[in-house]
Copies of this chain bind each other. A is one copy, B any other.
């Protein structure tokens, strides 16, 4: 089904917010076999929105609009959609009652503006919104399906997952299915060289590399009858594994933090961290995994020299501003003594722009792991902005932990 997504909201065009909705919707709709040809963002402008909707009605079958369903006057999506489709807006008492209840549950009187949200195109199907006051709406015409969804991401997801998907409306002939192979430790250009012949000759599935925070991903995309996809995917995954096997760490939705927590849980290992420059970014990422408290014990943020001295019970000065192999190993060792964990991770480094000592350059990093008493330390050199280096250090640390876990 030829599909396009239209995000309504001047805040997108002014660069105030990231368009996460387009990404989420693409992900969901692709799995249903929709072929998404365009994402467009347009402002809260009646004339341009109407022009765009008319263009979409011509070139696409399914049109999904997000945003502009709020209660204020610059929320124009319901109104302009009804104009473009030449369907009148009508007050819907059921929606009005639900909005009233929403405020009641929170102990607030419904602001009068919110009544505008109960004025919807006649005969539109209501898609209940459990996270907000604006219901989604679905309108079917002779040639098109038009879906209106709220802008705030948590509301959009609630409407899509609880009210839209269960309608089971999209019956694809052809699906577009993707699978992803995740690698780490090899740059994009060099990875491409190793599988270049596959990339060039493959038209279905297509093979595309994508550089990410957690390494280089290879996405295989198949368009056709879904039952054949896995056959093709296995074939190419095998070939890619023959060339890049050493670098592959995961597939599809596998996330590095989840993988680490799951493998530790399987092998009955627990884990603690002591971070200097990353200052909690590693521990925070590990505990984004629900249930991580069965694995992750806790840790320390030894951001300054004084804090390192307190942690290590040292009186003497910390050499090299703490970005030091010996200090990093001492931190890991002290963590091991305090926590008794099977895996202890210590991270020090200079994120920039300044460094804590003349001997230290921006991007110098030490990462130590102690696995059941066995200490290993690596030195790294990263380039880029403070933000980029921090991200690279976090992932280097996590991959070092994963590597250790995989030795057991």
A residues in contact (CB < 8 Å) with B: 7, 10-20, 22-28, 30, 36-43, 45, 48, 52, 71-74, 108, 111, 113-114, 152, 154, 176, 178, 180, 187, 189-190, 192-193, 196, 199-200, 206, 208-211, 217, 219, 221, 272-273, 275, 277-284, 286-288, 290-293, 296-304, 306-308, 310-311, 338-339, 352-354, 356, 384-388, 390
In contact, B25 and A15 (Cβ under 8 angstroms)? yes
- Using Cβ atoms and an 8 Å threshold, which residues of chain B touch A206? 74
- Contacts A17-B23, A298-B304, A299-B300 given; indicate if A39 touches B37 (C-beta within 8 A): no
Q: Which residue of B lies closest to A338 (CB)?
A: B310
15 A-B contact pairs sorted by A residue (CB < 8 Å): A7-B39, A11-B208, A12-B39, A13-B39, A14-B36, A15-B26, A37-B42, A37-B48, A40-B41, A71-B189, A71-B192, A111-B189, A111-B192, A113-B196, A290-B352
Q: How far is the CA of A15 from the CA of B180 in the complex (A)?
A: 12
In contact, A284 and B288 (Cβ under 8 angstroms)? no
Return A62 CB to nearest CB of chain B, in Å. 13
Q: Which residue of B lies closest to A110 (CB)?
A: B189
- Using Cβ atoms and an 8 Å threshold, which residues of chain B touch A52? 38
- Using Cβ atoms and an 8 Å threshold, which residues of chain B touch A210? 11, 16-17
Q: Which of B180, B278, B384 contacts A154 (CB 8 A)?
A: B384
Return A183 CB to nearest CB of chain B, in Å. 15
- Contacts A19-B23, A301-B301, A304-B298 given; indicate if A388 touches B14 (C-beta within 8 A): no
Return A377 CB to nearest CB of chain B, in Å. 21
- Using Cβ atoms and an 8 Å threshold, which residues of chain B touch A296? 279, 303-304
Q: How far is the CA of A295 from the CA of B115 in the complex (A)?
A: 49
Q: Which of B40, B307, B310 contacts A38 (CB 8 A)?
A: B40
- Contacts A13-B26, A108-B190, A303-B298 given; indicate if A354 touches B283 (C-beta within 8 A): no
Q: Given contact pairs A72-B199, A292-B303, enumerate 6 new A-B contacts (beta carbons under 8 Å).
A: A10-B208, A154-B388, A280-B287, A280-B301, A298-B300, A298-B311
